[in-house]
Amino acid sequence: MTSQPPASPDLGEVVTHRDQLVRYLEAGSKPREDWRIGTEHEKFGFYTDNLRPLAFDGERGIESVLKGLTRFGWTPMTEAGGTIGLKMDKGSVTVEPGGQVELSGEPLDSIHATCKEVNEHLKEVKEVADPLGAAFLGVGFQPKWRLADIPRMPKERYRIMTEYMPTRGKHALEMMYRTATVQANLDFGSETDMVKKFRVGLALQPIATALFANSPFTEGRPNGYLSYRSHVWMHTDPDRCGDLPFVFESGMGFERYVDYALDVPMLLVVRDGHALDAAGASFRDFLAGRLPALPGERPSLGDWETHLTTLFPEVRLKHFLEMRGADGGPWSRLCALPALWKGLLYDDTALDAAWDLVKGWTAAERWDLRAKVPEQALHADVRGRSVHDLAREVLTIAEDGLRRLDRRNASNQDERIFLADLFEVVDQGRTPAEVLLDEYENRWRRDIDPLFHEHCY
C-alpha cells in the first residue's frame, strides 16, 4: 500500500539544512489514485502578412494576445507594468525568451482531459490572434528567421540568462530564442517509483526525440538535422542540461538529486517580484548565508523551487517528473506525448517491460544514442538495434499500458487513440521532419514560407 504523501511544503520556510531540500522533493510522492498528468507546449508566433516573429508590444504583439486571452477567464501576470503571462487555477500561459507562447496545463486525470485542455487553448489563441493578423506555428526550431531577427521579451530573468548562458555553451541563445517543445509531466508514488521512472525516462528520451523530430530547417534551409532543437540542447550548458548518468548508479534517490542540484550554478533569485542576478553563484553558499546577491540572507524553499526550474536535463525532477525530449508539433502530436509516457510509466507491467528494454544499456551507449538521434532519428541505432525497431516496441509497450489502464471518453474510446500519430511515424518509417523535408524539396519548391501557412494552428 502506498503511504500518504507528506504535507505540502511551506515555500516561505527558511532553509538551513540539506535535509529540508530532500523533504521538499519527497513531498512530491503521491498515492496512485492521485497521479495526474500535465502537458506543456510552446509555439512560435508570427505575423501572417510577412511571417516575421511577433514583437512583445504593439497592437498586434504578444502582449495583445495575452490580454485578449483574459476574456476566457485568465488572470494577467505582470512585470514592470506589462502583461507577461496568465494564470488560471493550476495552469498558466507564459512567454519564453524569443516570444514562444507556452501553455503549462493543469495536472489532469486522463489524456482525454489534457487533450481537451490543449485543444481549447489553441482554439482560444486562434480566436484572439486571427483578428490581429497573427498566427502560431508548432515546430521544434524557428525555421526562417535569424537570431538577430527574434524580438526580446521584457522579463528580468531572460536578461540574466541572455548574459550568462552563452558563457556555458555555443548554442545557448539558440535554445532560448529559437526552440520550442512539448513536454509531459508525471507523478511518482515513492522514492523507489521515482527512480525507476526517472531511469526509464532518461534512457528512452532519445526514442521520443526521434518520434517527434520536427526541426529540420534553419534560416529557410535544411540544416542537416531532423531534430535540430535536440542538437542545440546538447550544446547549451553542460552544467544544467543533458543526460544524468548518476541516475543509473546505486544510491540514486532524492538525496542524490539534491546534491546534483546544489552543484549546478545558480541563475537568479526572486525578491518582491524582481529577478536578481545570481548567475554562477553556489546554492551551497546561499545555504551558508554567503550569496553575493543577498549577503547574510539564507534561502527559502521558494528559492529552492526557483533554482530547480533553472535546471534543464532531459528529465527533470521537481514534485513530479518532466519529460523534456520532444520537438513542438501539430495539435494531434501534442496529445501523443503525454499518452506515450503515461502508457509507459503509469502501468506497472509496462514500466517493468520498458525497464527490461533499457536496463542493460551502458552510460556510453545512452550518450552515443542521444548524440546520434538529432541527426539520424529513427535511423540511429543502439546495441545493434535501430531506433525505428525500438520505437515500435516502445509504442507497443505504451499501447498495452494504456489498454490496461482503460480510461475511456464519452465515445467509449480508451487513451490508445492518442498514439495513432506515432504508430503512423513508425509504419511509414519517416519522422515528421522527413515529411517536411519532402514537402520543401518537392511541392514547396525549396521555399520555406508555405510551412507557416500550412502548419500553423
Specify whether the CB–CB gap between 381 and 387 falls below 8 A.
Answer: yes
In a domain, 289, yes or no: no
Check residue 17 and give its pLDDT: 95
Cα angle, residue 142 at apex, residues 215 and 432 outer, rounded to 5°: 25
DSSP letter (8 states) at residue 150? S
Here the cell at position 1 is: 500500500
The reply to whether 281 falls in a domain is no
pLDDT score for 8 = 74
Task: Say what the pTM is.
Answer: 0.96
Compute the distance between CA of residue 101 and CA of residue 118 in angstroms, rounded to an integer. 13
Number of residues that this document lists for the chain: 457
What amino acid is encoded at 445 in this protein?
R
pLDDT in tens, 319-355: 999 999 999 999 889 999 999 999 999 999 999 999 9
Q: Is residue 54 part of a domain?
A: yes
Question: What does the pLDDT read at residue 148?
Answer: 98
Consecutive 10-residue averages of pLDDT for the chain (457 residues): 58 96 98 98 98 97 98 96 96 98 98 97 98 98 98 97 98 98 98 98 98 98 98 97 97 98 98 96 97 97 98 98 97 95 98 98 98 98 97 98 98 98 98 98 98 96
Number of structural domains (the chain) is 1
The verdict on residue 10 lying in a domain is no
Q: What is the pLDDT of residue 3?
A: 43
Residue 296 lies in a domain: no
Q: Taking the CB of residue 420, how many other CB atoms lie within 10 A of it?
A: 12
Task: Report pLDDT for 9.
Answer: 85
- 240-295 tens-digit pLDDT: 999 999 999 999 999 999 999 999 999 999 999 999 999 999 999 999 999 999 99
The CATH code of the domain that includes 195 is: 3.30.590.20
Residue 331: predicted pLDDT: 87
Helices (H), 43-190: 62-69, 111-129, 156-164, 172-178
pLDDT at 7: 62
269 part of a folded domain = no
Domain-located, residue 13: no
**In the beta sheet, which residues pair with residue 136?**
45
- Tell me, yes or no, whether 2 lies in a domain: no
CA-CA distance, 76 to 94, in Å (whole number)?
10
Q: Which domain holds residue 370?
A: 18-264+311-454
Quick one: how far is CA 250 from the chain centroid? Answer: 27
Q: Which of 76, 241, 61, 59 minimizes the C-alpha distance to 152?
A: 61
Largest CA distance in the chain: 64
